[in-house]
DNA sequence: AGGAGGATCTACT
DNA sequence: GTAGATCCTCCTA
């Protein structure tokens, strides 16, 4: 089942859990690539009375975060460390500010194309990290704001679950006072493609 | 106008 | 295990 608009309109934490085991499909002129989501993180919600100070939206609406405050089902893509892009799914209704960072995929389709894009032949290293998977899927800053219910980049839930989910703290947000301890990182338990 | 810092990855030792 | 790449975004002045 392809995800429709409505599937993205819940809160980010619930949506992140629903996304584990789902499949991201990316269609391009070069071919189709697809991967199962085995790791993702929720951002921007409130937890036990604390706002998420680990989220980009914590400081409010800026040109960069504008899309996150819009309607769910769009892509929030940003550049990190000057070299890599990260892919997020915007959640919730317009005015809300939840999003889900896609951190790792298990490659399913278009492995040869992924290897070419990554200049990398080891399958373990194709999509096991947020910067790696965007490169393997051919996702760059031009995907900022893209509608995820179109034909270029979309999500499918297949009848092959349910998947065992593991929950941990989020990675690499030590600067956050409260947010660093929120249990909002979701993993497909035991999957070898989870990032380090 | 300037500067600090980042939801990362690779290549080396 | 550690350093270096590399540049956008946002805050300060």
pLDDT for the residue A89? 98
Whether A96 contacts A13, CB under 8 Å: no
**Cα–Cα dist A151/A138, whole Å:** 15
% of chain A residues with pLDDT over 90 = 99
More confident residue, A3 or A196: A3
* CB A62 within 7 Å, strand C: yes
Strands (DSSP E) contained in A11-139 are 23-28, 31-43, 46-47, 50-51, 75-80, 84-90, 99-109
Q: From the C1' of C11, which residue's alpha carbon is nearest?
A: A59
Q: What mean pLDDT do residues A72-91 have?
A: 97
**Three-state DSSP state, A94:** coil
Instruction: Using the CA of A59, give the nucleotide whose C1' is nearest.
Output: C10
Q: Where are the domains of chain A?
A: 5-188
pLDDT for the residue A98? 98
* CB A59 within 7 Å, strand C: yes
Per-residue model confidence as pLDDT tens digits over A9-27: 999 999 999 999 999 999 9
Per-residue model confidence as pLDDT tens digits over A100-144: 999 999 999 999 999 999 999 999 999 999 999 999 999 999 999
pLDDT category at A3 given cuts 50, 70, 90 is: very high
Average pLDDT of chain A is: 97
Helices A130-137 and A111-118 pack at an angle, to 10 degrees, of 110
pLDDT for the residue A161? 80
Instruction: Round to a whole number and report the distance in Å from the CA of A1 to the C1' of C5.
Output: 41
Q: Measured at the alpha carbon of residue A98, what is the angle toward residues A93 and A103, in degrees to the nearest 5?
A: 130
* pLDDT at residue A182 tops 90: yes
pLDDT category at A53 given cuts 50, 70, 90 is: very high
pTM strictly above 0.95: yes
**Cα–Cα dist A14/A192, whole Å:** 24
Architecture of domain A5-188: Roll (3.10)
pLDDT for the residue A99? 98
Per-residue model confidence as pLDDT tens digits over A152-172: 999 999 999 899 999 999 999
């Amino acid at each position: 089942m392809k995800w429709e608009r409505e599937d993205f309109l819940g809160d980010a934490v619930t949506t992140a859990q629903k996304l584990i085991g789902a499949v991201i499909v990316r269609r391009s002129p070069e071919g189709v690539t697809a991967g199962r989501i085995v790791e993702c993180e929720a951002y921007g919600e409130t937890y036990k009375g604390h706002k998420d100070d680990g989220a980009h939206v914590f400081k409010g609406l800026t040109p960069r975060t504008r899309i996150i405050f819009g309607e769910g089902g769009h892509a929030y893509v940003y550049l990190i460390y000057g070299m890599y892009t990260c892919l997020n799914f915007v959640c919730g209704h317009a005015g809300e500010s939840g999003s889900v960072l896609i951190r790792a995929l298990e490659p399913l389709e278009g492995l040869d194309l992924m290897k070419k894009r990554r200049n990398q032949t080891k399958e373990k290293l194709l999509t096991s990290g947020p910067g790696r998977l965007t490169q393997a899927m051919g996702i760059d800053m031009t995907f900022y704001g893209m509608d995820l219910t179109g034909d270029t980049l979309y999500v499918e839930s297949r009848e092959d679950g349910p998947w065992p989910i593991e929950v941990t703290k989020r990675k690499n947000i030590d600067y956050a006072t409260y947010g660093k301890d929120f249990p909002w990182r979701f993993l497909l338990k035991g999957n070898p493609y989870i990032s380090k």
